[in-house]
Structure 1
Amino acid sequence: MGIKAALSKPFAAYVHQRNQAWMQQPAQTQQKVFTSLIQKGASTAFGRDHKFKNIQNHADFTQAVPVRDYEGLKPYFERVKKGERDILWPGKPIYFAKTSGTTSGTKYIPISADSISNHINGARDALLAYVYQTGNSTFLDGKLIFLSGSPELDEVSGIKTGRLSGIANHHVPGYLRRNQLPSYQINCLDDWEEKLDAIIGETLHQPMTLISGIPPWVQMYFDRITAKTGKKIKDVFPDFNLFVYGGVNFEPYRAKLFESIGKPIDSIELFPASEGFFAYQNEQDDPGLLLLLNAGIFYEFIPVSEYYNENPRRLRIEEVEVGVNYALVISNNAGLWAYSIGDTVKFTSTRPYKVVVSGRIKHFISAFGEHVIGEEVEKAMHQTMQKFPEVEVVEFTVAPYVSPSAGQSYHEWLVAFAQPPQDLPAFRLELDQQLRQLNVYYDDLITGNILSPLKLTPLPSDAFQKYMKTQGKLGGQNKVPRLSNDRAIADALVKFKVES
């Protein structure tokens, strides 16, 4: 065992004990965060506009500060972008995390000197929690790869600006820097396919122990290695023993990814976003993600069923229930106030508070009143694949087809198969039946002949990669929405369909 692996164990024990303190006092911990945020925010333009000096408790806050998304806070973001100080948070941000929005264009999310530690320490503590629970720290002695965006940063009004993964790359601890791949020069390549080939060339003969990234892009990395070598990943990287991922639901990718690896290995799920690092998996036998309550983020939870009401309930951590779908709203020490990040979560535990990411509040289909959500289509696909074990799915998305004729509208599932079902019609019928069992409104529409059973359009295994390339979003942290209420993505993908 190397020195890094050895030293990580006492540090992991220290972090574990420190975390126990706030985990055992969740409501009190969140109250301290809330009080600190309000006090520091009171001197800002936003704080003055919303009379923070009069806010004494959460009820006051909900009255003074409405829930907003990026568009709602955009006037303040624009002032920060122009270089003004003390707008959303004291001083100026040290970074803008640049993200692509579907309705707002490019978003510029501020990261402050106070909030950067949340992004960096969250990922670090996830690895240390794994070390503490399993005793395995040998991955720290090998090479670690993080498939991410370019670390090259631009400047907006003197504020360094780039993708979150690129910003985080500048804060990798020195003791891990020597282990990190790809090299800075290769990581700066813009073209994803060129970059991927360069990463393979650089990593192919290295003792890789940890691989991290969004599952579809890691799968692309694995596929190209196997095509180049003719070997499973376990035979190319025999020391590879830990996979770290986040950004999408892993279940649709799990079977194919582990088949590519060729052996079971441990994995850690993270819940990072440009707005903050919210949670991580701290136990191998529990898929729930530990919600970080002491990291400069105050959480509110709106029941999804109430989200579009005029005055939805905004629940504190001690008011949530297991199994309910909530829209996640945050206020943080970078100056986001009652900000709806767009993700939905369900609690799996309240001792401690653990969540699973259930979808996106705007990613649903309700063209006919069915309100089908991402969690439902992913579960329907997963349960159908269990009945058709030969099937391997690379990626899929779902969109409505609206016909003027009664009974001829339907949901179209566009599915890229690595290995298609032997009986495609039977697979389609089972998929439709699974969704009907999961969503009573969808079932009613089928029964009432308002909708026809779903249509399944098979796509080549590389269809989504080709589509993302046409959009200039191949690789990095980009991903295709699982659900759409229009056909913009579906109509573009249909061009790649498999001809029968």
Structure 2
Amino acid sequence: MGIRSTLARPFAAYIASSTRKWASNPIPFQEKTFKHLVATAKNTVFGKDHGFDTIRSYDDFKKQVPIRDYEELKPYVEKILEGKPDILWPGKPAYFAKTSGTTSGTKYIPITKESLPNHINSARNALLSYVHETGNASFLDGGLIFLSGSPELDEKGGVKTGRLSGIVNHHIPQYLRTNQKPSYTTNCIEDWEQKLDTIIEETLHENMTLISGIPPWVQMYFDRIQAKTGKSIKDIFPNFSMFVYGGVNFEPYRAKLFESIGKKIDSIETYPASEGFIAYQDSQREQGLLLLLNSGIFFEFIPAEEYFNENPRRLSIGEVELGKNYALIINSNAGLWGYSIGDTIKFVSKNPYRIVVTGRIKHFISAFGEHVIGEEVEKAMQQTIQKLPETELVEFTVAPQVTPREGLPHHEWLIEFSKPPHNLEAFASELDNQLRELNVYYDDLITGNILRTLRITTLPRNAFIDYMKSIGKLGGQNKVPRLSNDRRLADDLHKLISN
């Protein structure tokens, strides 16, 4: 037993005890967070613009602070980028997390010295929760690999700026740095494929015990190792026992990933975002991720079906219901106010409050009023593969086909298989049936001959990698949208495979 695993156990017990304290009765902690946030920011530009000094209750706050996305918050961010202090939060941010936006171009999300512990400690606590529950800490003694963005930072308005994963890399505790992979120099390589090859050279003969990253990019890492060695990952890294992931639903990747590894290992799901570390898997026995209700963020929830209404309901944690889809809104000590991060979540437990991520509020298909969401297409795919287990998936996305050359409109599923089904027509039929069971509106459209059943377009090997490369988003924390209400991604994929 190594020194890290030995010391981790008592620390894990302490963290578990602290977590139980707020998780068992979180509403007072959320109320305390709310009051602290408003009081601290009352003399900022944003606070003065929204009358923070007159806010006495959450109802007051809702009347005075509207829901915003990044585009609507951007005028305040631009003032910070000009070097001005006291705009969204007292002083200047410690960092800007640079991320890609769909309409805004590059987004600059502030991270303050007060909000930084939310990002750093939450990732640590996810691992310690596992250690406390299972008693297993041996994975901390070997090599730890974090497939992330470059830690090199620029500067905007006197504020250090970079990818969130790169910023966090600067704050990895010293006791973990000695066994962290890849090296700083390798992590700074911008070209993902070159970086991946270098990571493989650095790790191939190391005792890797924990690997962390977005599943499709970890799979790419595994594929290249297997191509180079002809061996399963368990034979290359026999002590590899912990996989940490986030950013996408793991289920579509699970079968292929574990086949590549060659054995079942434990995993921890996390929910980090540039705007804040939202939740993490605190138990191997229970469904869902523990919502972090005592970490500098005051959460609000809008019923997903009301999100685009003029005056949607805004609910605090004590008002939510199990099994309903909510758009997630945050107010934080990073200076984000009424901020919609674009994700939808669903509560699977209220004691403690645990969630699953169900999709993106703007990622849906409703070309005909069906309002199919990410959770539904992923679940339909998962259940279909369970019924036709010879099938293995690399990646997929779904788009409406409103004006087909012949026949009725339909949903087009663009799928890259690592192992295609024996009968693609039967697979498509089962997939369509599963989606019809999950979404009654889609079923009505099929039954009423408004839509025909879905059509599958099989994509060649590496189609999605080539697509991500073509738009400059290969690797790191970038991911393919699971579905969209237009044809842009689908058409780009068709162009790639026709060239």
Q: Which residue of 2 aligns with 1:243?
A: 243
Q: Which residue of 2 aligns with 1:480?
A: 480
CA contact (8 A) 1:407 1:449 kept: no
Partner amino acid, structure 2, of 1:251: E
Q: Which residue of 2 aligns with 1:308?
A: 308
Structure 1 position 309, deviation (Å): 1.1
Alignment of structure 1 residues 74-473 onto 2, 5 Å: 74-403=74-403, 408-473=408-473
Structure 1 position 449, deviation (Å): 1.1
Structure 1 position 287, deviation (Å): 3.0
2 CA distance for matches of 1:352 and 1:86? 36
Q: CA RMSD in A?
A: 1.2
Q: Which residue of 1 aligns with 2:10?
A: 10
1 CA distance for matches of 2:311 and 2:496? 44
Partner amino acid, structure 2, of 1:86: D
Show structure 1 runs of 5+ residues with no match.
Answer: none
1:61-111 Cα offsets, whole Å, 9 max, x none, are: 000001000011111011011111000000000100000011111000000
3-state DSSP class of the match of 2:160? strand
Partner amino acid, structure 2, of 1:328: L
3-state DSSP class of the match of 1:99? strand
Q: Which residue of 1 aligns with 2:44?
A: 44
Structure 1 position 40, deviation (Å): 0.5
3-state DSSP class of the match of 2:56? coil
Q: Which residue of 2 aligns with 1:494?
A: 494
CA contact (8 A) 1:458 1:498 kept: no
3-state DSSP class of the match of 2:473? coil
Partner amino acid, structure 1, of 2:334: A
Partner amino acid, structure 1, of 2:67: V
Structure 1 position 497, deviation (Å): 4.5
Structure 1 position 404, deviation (Å): 7.7
Structure 1 position 342, deviation (Å): 0.3
2 CA distance for matches of 1:54 and 1:81? 28
CA contact (8 A) 1:365 1:484 kept: yes
2 CA distance for matches of 1:405 and 1:210? 50
Structure 1 position 158, deviation (Å): 1.3
CA contact (8 A) 1:114 1:334 kept: yes
1 CA distance for matches of 2:403 and 2:21? 57
CA contact (8 A) 1:97 1:163 kept: yes
3-state DSSP class of the match of 1:495? helix
Q: Which residue of 2 aligns with 1:32?
A: 32
2 CA distance for matches of 1:374 and 1:330? 21
2 CA distance for matches of 1:410 and 1:404? 8
3-state DSSP class of the match of 1:302? strand
CA contact (8 A) 1:406 1:449 kept: no
CA contact (8 A) 1:436 1:443 kept: yes
1:475-500 Cα offsets, whole Å, 9 max, x none, are: 0000111011111110111235599x
1:291-333 Cα offsets, whole Å, 9 max, x none, are: 1111000000000011111111111101111100000000000
Structure 1 position 24, deviation (Å): 2.0
How many equivalent pairs are there?
A: 499
Structure 1 position 210, deviation (Å): 0.1
3-state DSSP class of the match of 1:349? strand
Structure 1 position 407, deviation (Å): 5.6
Partner amino acid, structure 2, of 1:416: E
1 CA distance for matches of 2:287 and 2:150? 30
Partner amino acid, structure 1, of 2:74: K
Structure 1 position 279, deviation (Å): 0.5
2 CA distance for matches of 1:67 and 1:416? 38
1 CA distance for matches of 2:497 and 2:428? 16
2 CA distance for matches of 1:142 and 1:388? 37
3-state DSSP class of the match of 2:415? strand
Tell me the TM-score normalized by structure 1. Answer: 0.98
3-state DSSP class of the match of 2:427? helix
Structure 1 position 25, deviation (Å): 1.8
1 CA distance for matches of 2:10 and 2:434? 47
Structure 2 vs 1, CA of residues 394 and 228 (structure 1 numbering), >3 Å: closer, same or farther?
same
2 CA distance for matches of 1:57 and 1:253? 44
Structure 1 position 408, deviation (Å): 1.5
1 CA distance for matches of 2:140 and 2:76? 42
Show structure 2 runs of 5+ residues with no match.
Answer: none
Partner amino acid, structure 1, of 2:289: L
3-state DSSP class of the match of 1:14? helix
Tell me the TM-score normalized by structure 2. Answer: 0.99
Partner amino acid, structure 2, of 1:127: L
3-state DSSP class of the match of 1:18? helix
3-state DSSP class of the match of 1:318? helix
1:250-298 Cα offsets, whole Å, 9 max, x none, are: 1111111011111000000000000000110011122310011110000
1 CA distance for matches of 2:86 and 2:195? 39
1:127-154 Cα offsets, whole Å, 9 max, x none, are: 0001000101011110000000000000
Partner amino acid, structure 2, of 1:238: P
2 CA distance for matches of 1:208 and 1:64? 51
Partner amino acid, structure 1, of 2:418: A
3-state DSSP class of the match of 1:145? strand
Task: Give runs of ≥4 in structure 1 deviating > 2 Å.
Answer: 404-407, 495-499
2 CA distance for matches of 1:320 and 1:85? 36
2 CA distance for matches of 1:400 and 1:24? 44
CA contact (8 A) 1:460 1:498 kept: no
Q: Which residue of 2 aligns with 1:72?
A: 72
CA contact (8 A) 1:371 1:441 kept: yes
